[in-house]
Structure 1
Amino acid sequence: MFDAFLATPSIRSDVKSRSFLDLIGSTPTGPSYGFRGIFSGFNVLDSTPSLLNFIVKEAESCGRELAEKIGIVAAYAIAPPPPSTPDRSVPYVPFNMYYAWLNSTYDKAARASAKTITDAAIAEGQAVAPDATVYPKDAMFDTPLERIYGENLPALRALKRKVNPLNVMDLAGGFKI
């Protein structure tokens, strides 16, 4: 099933089972200098064969149509929860997309690819609600804080007012509470 996906032309390939730390360390940061980039993510109920096949087709399409024109890099990752995850009534599986490209004229193309995959998951019945929470590491830069922190946002804002009244931590980057 994954042969076609693994055969997708790439600048670099290092596919294997690995720890999260190893995955982060394997990211080629040098070659991405000067690229524009976004992360986009959502949670699905199941990484079904039809959704995985759709992602393979989207990756192939993205590679064929855009790689030579704009130097795009696209990475798609589904992270099934480890067996140690507590049992929940809705066991979402995080899905993350990373895009990097050179030319600002293609900013919309990266967003469109993310939306295409999200729409495919919804079309097959996945519970990808527009207001479902998103992990901060998977959230696109303009994701509303309510989608990241959910009902905890008021408490986090109160905590921020108490421990960070001068907004020193806002200098660190990331999502601003």
Structure 2
Amino acid sequence: MNEKELMEQGYKKYRGEEMDIYFSLALCEHAGICIRGDREVFNLRRKPWILPDLGPQEEVQRLIAQCPSKALKYRMKDSEEIFPQPHPEETRYQKEESGLKILACKGSLSVGFIEFHREGEDLLVITRTEVDPAYSGQFIGNGLVKQVVNVAEEENRKILPLCSFARKVITRIPAYRHLEHKLPD
């Protein structure tokens, strides 16, 4: 993967003297590893929120490698190579033909899913999210919810999270809250 391909995929470039950092909001699962790891480099309270030169390179590279969604990548100025490189065991998401179920996969193994359906013209209803316990703590469930958020944004719909896990994720992440449809009391 090169810089041109990253930019075509919607990544934004944050320039530094020795390293450039790339970020994709569309992929971000809001795990917070970056901002908890180095608040000098990653700081949501300023613009730009990423300043590559403010932290030790090795530490910044380590944090970027830990990003579960791969929304963060970097390139050293003396190289054309983008890191981290894709790995066949990374989590990927695939929609079923009906568009009502999204699977999370590692390699060829399905490790979780989220089920939802369309209600009328303006609502997506999430009914179930499940992740194999062997993969807990890897933010796979968050990634599944993010995939439904993407569908809701593409189709200009609100989300009714009947599933308790999805409801917790949507209410916890400020960028998702505007999509939540609340039932009247």
- TM-score normalized by the length of structure 2: 0.30
Give the structure, 1 or 2, with the largest relative contact order (CA under 8 Å, sep 6 or more).
Answer: 1
Greater helix proportion: 1
- TM-score normalized by the length of structure 1: 0.30
Greater strand proportion: 2
